[in-house]
Amino acid sequence: DTGVSQDPRHKITKRGQNVTFRCDPISEHNRLYWYRQTLGQGPEFLTYFQNEAQLEKSRLLSDRFSAERPKGSFSTLEIQRTEQGDSAMYLCASSSTSGIQETQYFGPGTRLLVL
Amino acid sequence: LAKTTQPISMDSYEGQEVNITCSHNNIATNDYITWYQQFPSQGPRFIIQGYKTKVTNEVASLFIPADRKSSTLSLPRVSLSDTAVYYCLVGELNTGFQKLVFGTGTRLLVSP
């Protein structure tokens, strides 16, 4: 399967702990996105990478959140000092810059539960 | 980017054709339309994308009238496995990146 993969698929943690999620995009895709989705809502944009450069961050991304994409391949999203309000599905998507219409392909997501 | 409006929910039966209409009254000349499907606890899955007229692929058709202020996703002969949330989004051509703006989508329930 050459789609977007995310690890872990589920994470349960206690409030105050740090968590890190990984996303492996489709191999030839140079754009990578992180979204967050809470129950009953559509996904919300968090941040965007073009290759290794983080070019856009949502105001939803507080200073407890940090994302990296070293070498322009996989990406990690870290949440420090987790809070119960961080409980959500974290989705990664990737796309390429070829073509004038962009299509983002999503991974299966990481579901986070903060107790 | 243009805001989209969709019905909150729709019901259908197996074997029927389902049409979900999305309104995007403020769509700009440089905007295109994309539809995603999402099952519970999974990431959104790309269904179809178009700019004008009609686009068809192996799973759906997308009808876009000349004024482009709305679009209709058509699912032929739905099955129980088509029960999902469907999102309509508007994107901008030839930009640096697409910050997709999802609404709450349309919850389609297919019954036997």
Distance from CA of A18 to the nearest CA of B (A): 23
Percent residues over pLDDT 90 in chain A? 80
List the pLDDT tens digit at each of the 112 positions of chain B.
Answer: 678 999 999 999 999 999 999 999 999 888 889 999 999 989 999 999 999 889 999 999 999 999 999 999 999 999 999 999 999 998 877 666 777 888 889 999 999 9
Is B46 within 8 Å of A56 when comparing Cβ atoms?
A: no
pLDDT number for residue A1: 54
Query: What residues of chain B lie within 8 A of the CB of A107, using their CB?
Result: 43
pLDDT number for residue B1: 64
Is B51 within 8 Å of A101 when comparing Cβ atoms?
A: yes
- Minimum-distance CB partner of B97 among A44, A50, A111: A50
Query: What residues of chain B lie within 8 A of the CB of A35, using their CB?
Result: 100
Bridge partners, residue B34, by sequence: B49, B89
Distance from CA of A104 to the nearest CA of B (A): 8
Please enumerate residues of B whose Cβ is less than 8 A from a Cβ of A.
Answer: 32, 34, 36, 41-46, 49, 51, 87, 91, 93-105
Which positions ≥6 away from A49 have C-beta within 8 Å? A31, A32, A33, A55, A67, A69, A72, A75
Taking Cα atoms as reference points, which of A34, A64, A65, A68 lies closest to residue A52? Answer: A68
Query: What residues of chain A lie within 8 A of the CB of B98, using their CB?
Result: 95, 102, 104
CA distances to A76, A94, A95, B20, B77 from A52, rounded to whole Å, are 12, 13, 14, 38, 44
As a whole number, mean pLDDT of residues A21-32 equals: 94
Cβ distance A95 to A104 under 8 Å?
yes
Per DSSP, chain B holds a count of helices (H) and strands (E) of: 0, 9
Identify which has the larger pLDDT, B109 or A40: B109
pLDDT number for residue B95: 67
Task: Note the pLDDT tens digit of each residue in A54-102.
Answer: 998 998 888 999 999 998 899 999 999 999 999 999 999 999 876 677 8
pLDDT number for residue B69: 94
Taking Cα atoms as reference points, which of A20, A108, A23, A109 lies closest to residue A74? Answer: A23
